[in-house]
Amino acid sequence: MKWPSRGGDAAQQWRQRDAAVVSAAYSRYSDLVVESAEGAHLHTADGRDVLDFGSGIAVVNLGHRHPAVTAAVHAQLDRVWHASVTALSPPAITAAEALVRVAPDGLDQAFLCNSGAEAVEAALKLARRATGRSDVLAFRGAFHGRTYGALTLTASKAKYHAGMGPMLPGVHHVAYPYCLRECPPDGQGRCGVAEGDEIERLLATVVAPQDVAAIVVEPVLGEGGYVVPPAVFLPALRRICDAHGMLLIVDEVQSGFARTGRMFAVDHSGVRPDIMCVAKAMGNGLPIGAMVARGEVMRAWQPGEHGSTFGGNAVACAAAVAVVETMERERTWERAATLGAKVMKRVRSWQDRFPSLADVRGLGLMIGLEFLHPDRSPDAEVVEAVRAAALRRDLLLLACGTDENVIRLVPPLTIPDDELETGLRRIEESLAEVAG
Ligand SMILES: Cc1ncc(COP(=O)(O)O)c(C=O)c1O
């Protein structure tokens, strides 16, 4: 897409330098050249002040350069940056303690790493090791990362796999309960997709349950379209896992850290997973991730059986501790719930005026706006046009969904009310310009 650039020599020069040396694999949601950022604001090389409704893809949940996180990072920089497996590291121990404190009950040991994909790889390896089984179930529409194990689980866009096979053997995909598209109720109001019927059929016909190590699931589909499953879904997965001795792995990389109105999205369900993967907002912008597991499961690994040079980096861990402590102190999830309810109400009120806005859904401040043509086919063009119109108004919006026909609203959870309001007004104006 051609973005509405405001010109400016400095920004233009950065774009040229980027095109020359940075891999084109990194496609961008805009051509903004960001030189500094604070709260929900991006300041660009050509002097723009852009409202950030993407949070660096659900990373800066506390806003860019949150003062408590900044202070913790500065303090750690003056002590020690890196120890890796040469020694024990107090910031890593403290980060693991903080994570275990806020994780769902029973998840009491953490493996610290650097990204979401690494957390998912760790979960896959641990699940195989702990169960002695090879196969894994995942969902169409899911995104779990780009490394081979995580990529094999990923099924949100075929282009992520194109020309890069073969993938990991033993991974089976079933439908995610994406109500708008996948779940026609069977007449009694029962949704077979959400109740796990397809999984049971798969286990009866394709893969024997005793060969399945785990089910891997996003409690809210992220890249796949910000899809919130029916409440019966996660309990159904728990039931299936318990019946067959499989592990339930929740991928909270995008939905975690107060985003959905609880610390983790799985907390809404009361379901206790066996393993949880986190990253993104854990460091509020510093690279850190973790795989958290029940101690009994984690103890399947013996010393040296998994590891990472940078996992548990002291500076990233200091940021993570500050993130958890700030969220506990400020009860950030409550603000996410309050703002989320406000945004949902407001955006739903637009649906009469903009019929292509077919679905507005979300949990907390993780909200998806899905656009369809009158024949109910996905309308990616309107999403691109709205994003461009919003960017002209200095509002950065991200898309998602298998067909790129969903706008995801994922602003910092700390955004002040008036800035949220400004952003919503810019979306409304953009919709009126493009889809009115
Ligand atoms: C749910 C989910 N899992 C895993 C990942 C991969 O995380 P990373 O890009 O840090 O490897 C992502 C990234 O978008 C994600 O949304």
Residue 261 host element (H or E): none
**What separation in Å is there between the alpha carbon of 289 and the centre of ligand 1?**
10
Tokens representing 421?
A: 């309001």
Amino acid at the residue 253: V
Tokens representing 136?
A: 């894994």
Average per-residue pLDDT in the chain? Answer: 96
Q: How many residues does the chain have?
A: 436
Q: pLDDT tier at 182 (50, 70, 90 boundaries)?
A: confident
pTM of the model: 0.97
**What separation in Å is there between the alpha carbon of 188 and the centre of ligand 1?**
36
- pLDDT over threshold 60, residue 5: no
- Which among 159, 104, 152 has a CA at the least distance from the CA of 292? 104
Residue 189: the pLDDT is 75
Q: pLDDT tier at 121 (50, 70, 90 boundaries)?
A: very high
- pLDDT over threshold 80, residue 152: yes
Choice from 157, 280, 286 to test ligand 1 binding pocket (greatest atom count within 8 A of CB): 280
Amino acid at the residue 140: R
Name all residues whose Cβ lies below 6 A of ligand 1: 115-117, 120, 143-145, 218, 222-223, 251, 253-254, 279
Q: What is the position in ligand 1's atom list of the atom closest to the CA of 145? A: 6
**What separation in Å is there between the alpha carbon of 228 and the centre of ligand 1?**
17
Pairing of strands 289-294, 107-113: antiparallel
Strands (E), 87-193: 107-113, 135-139, 171-174
**What separation in Å is there between the alpha carbon of 51 and the centre of ligand 1?**
23
Pairing of strands 247-251, 34-38: unpaired
pLDDT tens digit sequence for 29-75: 999 999 999 999 999 999 999 999 999 999 999 999 999 999 999 99
Choice from 154, 252, 253, 363 to test ligand 1 binding pocket (greatest atom count within 8 A of CB): 253
- Measure the CA–CA gap between 256 and 291, rounded to whole angstroms: 12
Domains and CATH numbers, the chain: 9-65+332-435 (3.90.1150.10), 67-330 (3.40.640.10)
**What separation in Å is there between the alpha carbon of 4 and the centre of ligand 1?**
28
Q: What is the position in ligand 1's atom list of the atom closest to the CA of 120? A: 4
